[in-house]
Structure 1
Amino acid sequence: MRKLMVVLAFICGIIAFFAYALYSNSWKTVQVVRSDIHSELYAKQEVAAAMDAVEQGFAQELKDARLTEISYNEQASSTYADSFKKQASDEVIVVFTNFITVFHLFPSEEQLLEPNTTYKGYPWVLRRSANQKAWEIIGSGYGYLYT
């Protein structure tokens, strides 16, 4: 009888372990929501190009996360933009993202972000010079804006 109880407890533990893993963020497929673009500084296509660059950079930089929303807030962007210009002719834009981090049963690397967590308003700073058409990501993260 005691053996049976141990086996049942073990099986219940395994089921609970896999149920948690199955319903964690790592299994969610998420469609990215883009907020409406309102800007007096940039054309919608320019802001959309910056958002595209962030989506590509996000996939490379934050592999253990799922992007849920991407937005541009001109007032917030303008607050930080000037401090990131190298030259007066540079243009700087800040795009904000919301995302969820995934849970890994066996993490392979050091995790910089808390697993299975939602992050909101995560900033991405992009810059382009006067002779450049494409936006280039120069930094990201909550601490990046305040350093």
Structure 2
Amino acid sequence: MRQNNSAQPRPAKKARLKLLATACGIQNEAGLASLQFASMSPTVEEPASGHSTRRSQGGAMNRKTALIAIAGAFAALGILAALVGPSCGNVKSVERIARATDLYSKGDIDDAFNAVESEFASGFKGCTLDELRYDDEVESKFLDEMLAHEQKGKGDLIVVLSEFTTDWRAADEGFSPNDRYEGWQWILTRPSQDAPWKVVDWGY
């Protein structure tokens, strides 16, 4: 069984205490015992303080590392999103060629263009709409079809031509990847002039 000697002063230390007691004029046992008790009072050790400082610094470093990791993750997500692009059709830079005709005003045509862009943006993944066109030439090309629709009492019909490009994701929509489509038709109808246009069909 080990003996706890921490409470007993070492011989060299005990001799120093006697010398100190003599110098201070302490000669009785009670005074000597008080001096011995004072010498055993705990003190703050520097290594422990240093360890606490290192622990604090380590915690700060861990927080900094975590913040850097989070920032790196967000940056990676941003790069990935930029590479992948929008999940639906891109209509950010559409060139509009709209000229009033005998049948429709420029406002009518612009409303039709808005409906086409909305339909394109809701689907057509991997496709970028480059141009929308309606003018006298387009109208004359589809005039018989538009007049026949009107004569049947079904309201107005308009055919808008478009051009768009595709990337690798467009294969999911049935288009050829990295290709350009020209003369793509959009057929819209409305029951009256005050009603909004509605896309009813598209294609060649």
TM-score normalised by the chain length of structure 1: 0.66
Q: 1:100 is matched with which residue?
A: 165
Q: 2:143 is matched with which residue?
A: 78
1:121 counterpart letter in structure 2? G
How far the C-alpha of 1:109 sits from its partner, in A, is: 7.3
Instruction: Return the match for 1:116 from 170, 178, 181.
Output: 178
DSSP-derived class of the 1:61 partner: coil
1:81 counterpart letter in structure 2? M
How far the C-alpha of 1:78 sits from its partner, in A, is: 1.5
What's the RMSD between the two structures over aligned residues? 2.9
Which residues of 2 match residues 41-52 of structure 1 at below 5 A?
Answer: 41-52=103-114
DSSP-derived class of the 2:174 partner: coil
Q: Between the two structures, name the one with larger relative contact order (CA 8 Å, sep ≥ 6).
A: 1
Is residue 57 from structure 1 mapped to residue 123 from structure 2 by the alignment?
Answer: no
Over 3 Å counting, the alpha-carbon distance change for 1:128 and 1:111 in structure 2 is closer
> What 5-or-longer segments of structure 1 have no aligned partner?
1-20, 23-27, 143-147
Q: 1:90 is matched with which residue?
A: 155
Over 3 Å counting, the alpha-carbon distance change for 1:100 and 1:30 in structure 2 is farther
Distance in structure 2 (CA, Å) of the matches to 1:133 and 1:49: 10
DSSP-derived class of the 2:200 partner: strand
**Bigger CA drift: 127-136 or 65-74?**
127-136
Equivalent residues, number: 114
Is residue 67 from structure 1 mapped to residue 129 from structure 2 by the alignment?
Answer: yes
Q: Alpha-carbon deviations, 1:80-124, whole Å to 9, x = none?
A: 3245569425110000110001114xxx97441101100001000
TM-score normalised by the chain length of structure 2: 0.49
How far the C-alpha of 1:65 sits from its partner, in A, is: 0.4
How far the C-alpha of 1:130 sits from its partner, in A, is: 2.5
> What 5-or-longer segments of structure 2 have no aligned partner?
1-82, 85-89
